[in-house]
Amino acid sequence: MLYDYFWSRNENQKGYLFKIGSGIVWGGIGIVLILTPWHFVPGIFFDTRSIMLSIAALFFGSIPGITAMIIIGAYRIFAGGAGAAMGTTVVFTSVTIGLLWWYFRPDWRRKNYLLELAAMGITVHLVMLGCTFLLPDEVRWNTIENIALPVILIYPLATVLLGILMLNQAENWENRKALNISEERWHFALEGPGDGVWDWNPQTNEIFYSKQ
């Protein structure tokens, strides 16, 4: 909904302040995700911010992505705990990979977008799994054993699903915009000559006509 109502509908107003504002909104969403995590052990918790951040960077671009990264990264450092280094690094890598996809693969939507989303999701979360080596020695391997399968299987799938949702929202908005343009052209075509138009439904015997 954020992409549909806050971004797609304001395509002509995307100045720096607007983009920073978008990043602040994403940053707020990320903080909410951090506040509702899966606690592994005290100080080490996991959430879906990697999914959200990579998709936000892919769809919204550099300024919103970096703004969200700064906000969420700063909050994760403030939250502290044994997983702070890993958590902050995951924030940075998730946005970075999303931006790399956004910059180097600008036509990803026109190609096999499912494969593109899956490849990005797998890349993001393989890197996330690698970041577990920033955890303290006493919890590192136990953490890897417990999160490896969800991170490699579920998180990339969730990335694909969120990406599809964003694409559908964008497509719906483009269709509505095209319909409005078509209706305006039809209106001008009718108003121009002043001839009007009428239509008869033989099944119901109803007649529709314009005011001309």
44: β partners:
41
pLDDT tens digits, one per residue of 106-157: 899 888 999 999 999 999 999 999 999 999 988 889 888 888 888 999 999 9
pLDDT top residue among 139 and 70: 70
Q: How far apart are the first and last CA of the chain?
A: 40
Kindly state whether residue 196 falls inside one of the protein's structural domains.
no
DSSP-assigned letter for residue 48: S
| Three-state SS sequence of 100-163 | HHHHHCCCHHHCCHHHHHHHHHHHHHHHHHHHHHHCCHHHHHHHHHHHHHHHHHHHHHHHHHHH
pTM (predicted TM-score): 0.77
Percentage of the chain with pLDDT > 90?
46
Is 209 inside a domain boundary?
A: no
Q: Is residue 47 classed as helix, strand or coil in its secondary structure?
A: coil
Statement: residue 27 has pLDDT above 90 = yes
117 within a domain of the structure (yes/no): yes
Count of residues in the chain: 212
How many Å apart are CA 16 and CA 110, to the nearest integer? 27
Q: Is residue 171 predicted with pLDDT exceeding 90?
A: no
1 vs 25: which has the higher pLDDT: 25
What are the CA-CA distances from residue 119 to residues 105, 113, 123 (Å)? 12, 10, 6
User: Domain for residue 200, yes or no?
Assistant: no
Looking at 11-20, 133-142, 181-190, which range is the least confident one?
Answer: 181-190
Contacts of 8 (CB under 8 A, 6+ apart): 169, 170, 173, 174
Structural domains of the chain, count: 1
Q: Has residue 17 been placed in a domain?
A: yes
- Identify the residue with better confidence: 12 or 107: 107
- Across the chain, mean pLDDT equals 83
Taking the C-alpha atoms of residue 185 and residue 121, their distance in angstroms, rounded to an integer, is 42
The answer as to whether 192 is a domain residue is: no
CATH code where residue 98 lies: 1.10.1760
Residue 144, domain extent: 2-175
CA 99 to each of CA 8, 38, 95, 102, 128: distance values in angstroms, whole numbers, following the listed order: 19, 27, 6, 5, 16
| pLDDT number for residue 191 | 60
Query: SS3 of 206, please?
Result: strand
Q: Mean pLDDT over residues 19-25, rounded? A: 90
Tell me whether residue 188 is in a domain: no
Q: Are strands 206-209 and 38-41 parallel, antiparallel or unpaired?
A: unpaired
- Sign of torsion over alpha carbons 176, 179, 184, 190: negative
Domain assignment present for residue 126? The answer is: yes
